[in-house]
Amino acid sequence: MNNKKNTLILGSSGMVGSAIVRKLQNSKNTLLTPSHKQLDLINQKQVFEFFGDNKVDEIYLCAGKVGGISANSNFPMDFLYENLMIQTNVLHAAFRNNIPKLIFIGSSSIYPKDAPMPFKEESLLSGALEKSNEAYAIAKIAGIKFCEYANNIFSKSRKQYLTLMPANLYGISDDYDPSNGHVVASMISKMHNAKINSKDLILWGTGSAYREFLNVDDLSNACVLIMNKKFQELKELPFSHINVGSGVEISIKSLAEILSNIIGYSGDIIFDHSKPDGMKRKIIDSSIMKSLGWEASVELVEGLEQAYQDFLKRDI
């Protein structure tokens, strides 16, 4: 039997997409990894033409506009528009072309700010969102609901679209923009620059907020595991979205202290209390994902060391 598939990875140059490419590069599958120049996902016509011209068996939808609290706070319209357009075009085209399997990458920011902690999948749409990343969360929720509605239609055809909701991501191929990057990537960039310029490091908030961090290679393992599950193994899942987290939370202040040891930064770390912390605590319940045979394996310190080495390779 020939099990070779055509696997479409959208966002293949980003952190999540490139991790999935690394995971699958030695598989039997043919990997389709169109760049933004080859396929503009915001352009509906281009997306539908691509699906018409290419045979696709499964999709990893990793493309989207991402960033940290600063970017989300300053550019909410961009986060809402770009993510809605990208995911709606791809999900609609996949549905219309009868693509049987799709994994959409969501975010733990979808959960209401006052939902019981750790967040469970059932908390979706049970309350108000955290304002600092509301636009991004609304876009992701729309994608989750598209997958849910598609699965209801697909219930008898053995097709399935699922969304994985990772904790705060970090790792190889992250965007180390000091202003708009994820928490870890932004802090690495700021701290490294403070070190080489012998300056104090100024970080947003009080440092007291707690976050759960997940290495991107752990997420890629979860993605491929779920994609390779048979329909029968997943059809009884209570939700179309599944949490993926390490289960370990740490304060932003403690994260900064660990990174200072890794980077060799000995200057002062100053927290700007005039800037927001975002949610005081954010950790997710990954019981469903673990019941399917997945566990996070990358220890935080090990992963942060890898991330800093990745930053150094790309630092000019």
pLDDT mean values, one per 10 residues, the chain (316 residues): 84 96 95 96 97 97 86 88 97 96 95 95 96 92 97 91 96 89 92 96 94 97 96 92 96 98 97 89 96 97 97 79
Report the pLDDT value the prediction gives residue 150, as an integer from 0 to 100. Answer: 96
Considering the chain, what is the average pLDDT of its residues? 94
Q: Is residue 182 part of a domain?
A: no
Report the pLDDT value the prediction gives residue 292, as an integer from 0 to 100. Answer: 96
Q: Is residue 316 part of a domain?
A: no
Count of domains forming the chain: 1
CATH number for position 237: 3.40.50.720
Structural domain that includes position 147: 6-174+213-247+283-297
Q: Is residue 271 part of a domain?
A: no
Q: Is residue 49 part of a domain?
A: yes
Q: What is the pTM of this model?
A: 0.94
What amino acid positions are annotated as catalytic residues? 136
Element holding 76 (H helix, E strand): helix 76-96
Q: Is residue 261 part of a domain?
A: no
Block residue for tokens 């800093």: 308
Contact 292, 221 (CB under 8 A): no
Give whole-number Cα distances, 185 to 103, 141, 266, 274, 280, in Å.
25, 25, 19, 22, 20
Q: Is residue 132 part of a domain?
A: yes
pLDDT tens digit sequence for 183-234: 999 999 999 999 999 999 999 899 999 999 999 999 999 999 999 999 999 9
Report the pLDDT value the prediction gives residue 69, as an integer from 0 to 100. Answer: 76
Nearest to 139 by CA among 186, 216, 194, 79: 79
Q: Is residue 302 part of a domain?
A: no
Report the pLDDT value the prediction gives residue 278, as an integer from 0 to 100. Answer: 81
Sign of CA dihedral 66, 182, 147, 222: positive
Report the pLDDT value the prediction gives residue 1, as an integer from 0 to 100. Answer: 46
> What is the distance between the alpha carbons of residues 121 and 221, in angstroms, rounded to a whole number?
20
> What is the distance between the alpha carbons of residues 96 and 50, in angstroms, rounded to a whole number?
13
